[in-house]
Amino acid sequence: MIETLMQEVSEDLLVDSLSNMVSIQSVNPFDEAARPGHREQEFAEYFVTQMQALGLETDTRELVPGRANVWGRLRGTGGGPAIMLAGHMDTVGVPGYPTAFTPKVADGRLHGRGSCDMKAALACYLEVVRVLRDAGVSLKGDLIVAGVADEEHLMIGSKDWGRNGPHADFGIIGEPTELAVCPAHKGQYCLFVRTFGKAVHSSVPHLGENAIERMARIINAFADYNDELARRPAHPMCGHGTFNVGVISGGSISSAVPDFCQLEVDRRILPGETRERIVEEYTARIEPLTADDPGFRYEIVGGSIDTPALDVPLDSPIVTALAHAAETVTGAPAEVKALAAATDAPNMGFPSVLCGPGSIAQAHTTDEYVAIDQLTKATQIYLHTIMSMTG
């Protein structure tokens, strides 16, 4: 039965569906106001319409104006786990990418913004439902297809999902993994470090206190932090945590001693590391700087980005089912590894594993694409997993 279903996957329908999705602009507005083309609303409306056409029970929860989570449910007969196929509807921006929303098929690839990150998986989910519907398959557990808002920025969509549902027993999120099964990734915790000084005219700097110079001392205090992190025990899949100085701002005019400077730093955290411990580590490096500078004032605030680490056990039913499905479809042992980037998965409120078409190396580029054969294989992997767990 599973093999027959996998043969019913239509490459043509996948290409048509993904092409339609790429042409709908759903760029994340980031810190700007949501507006047409820079929100999920138009894409969400399309996605809901497609789910309804396939016979799913649909619902929507607005998070902020123009930005909502949407989902469709194929109800099971009972006695099996509920499985969610989830993916984000937003994309990054398109500077320097004039053809971003004009889908193009060439050389076995479909090009366009969102083609791999991650509208490809959303197209696969619809094809999964179509195949099950046309074959008259009754699942034991519910199948939920979810479109999530705001993955590319603050993840308000998945954070809301974790609080309010709908919930499932297991989830698959089709981020571009080149069909690898990824049950783990590092988290991301970004904080602001601020220094303060005393503003005076730059012709008499000795009368002031330079906040930028104080920040320079802080930056130097972290010079060997990555070396320290690399000496700590590694996570078996995620490796070591890392630290990066990402954004700095301070001062207003060159003829004034600056009284304020701000640094935004990025810490990639391992499963088990806590926010509190990270702040303690930062403080331990900065506090000694105050010993020879009585006026040294600083603060650590945030976080501007706060995404937990993901660590689904390797013996979880969703991991083993996905790995078996990937091996069956590709004919090679499944690659089970950590994903490099942070995702919605740890926010969803139930064990969620990453596995999808496309390469993370193509995401966010000015020539984004997905291999069409991976669309077909990903759909077959999802079908195989669902049928083996709840068919």
CA gap 128, 210 in Å, rounded? 60
Q: What is the mean pLDDT of residues 324-341?
A: 96
The per-residue pLDDT for range 288-311, each reduced to its tens digit, is 999 999 899 999 998 789 999 999
CA gap 244, 230 in Å, rounded? 14
Residues 6+ apart with CB under 8 A from 279: 191, 300
Q: What is the mean pLDDT of residues 349-377?
A: 97
Q: Quick check: is 209 catalytic?
A: no
Burial track 293-316 (b if 16+ CB lie within 10 A, e otherwise)? eeebebebeebbbbbbbbbbeeee
pLDDT at 280 over 90: yes
User: How do the domains of the chain map onto residue ranges?
Assistant: 2-185+309-390, 187-307
Query: Which candidate in 151, 175, 311, 344 is catalytic?
Result: 151
What global pTM score does this model have? 0.93
What is 2-185+309-390's CATH superfamily?
Answer: Zn peptidases (3.40.630.10)
The sheet that has 109-111: what strands, in order across it?
A: 104-106, 109-111, 369-371
Give me the pLDDT at residue 138, please.
95
pLDDT at 75 over 90: yes
**pLDDT tier, 178 (very low <50, low <70, confident <90, very high otherwise):** very high
Give me the pLDDT at residue 52, please.
98
Which one, of 130, 125, 139, 144, lies nearest residue 53 by Cα? 130
Tell me, yes or no, if the two domains 2-185+309-390 and 187-307 fold the same way. Answer: no
Give me the pLDDT at residue 302, please.
86
Please tell me the CATH code under which domain 187-307 is placed: 3.30.70.360
The residues pairing with 104 across neighbouring beta strands, listed in sequence order, are 111
The one-letter amino acid code at 139 reads L
Q: Quick check: is 151 catalytic?
A: yes
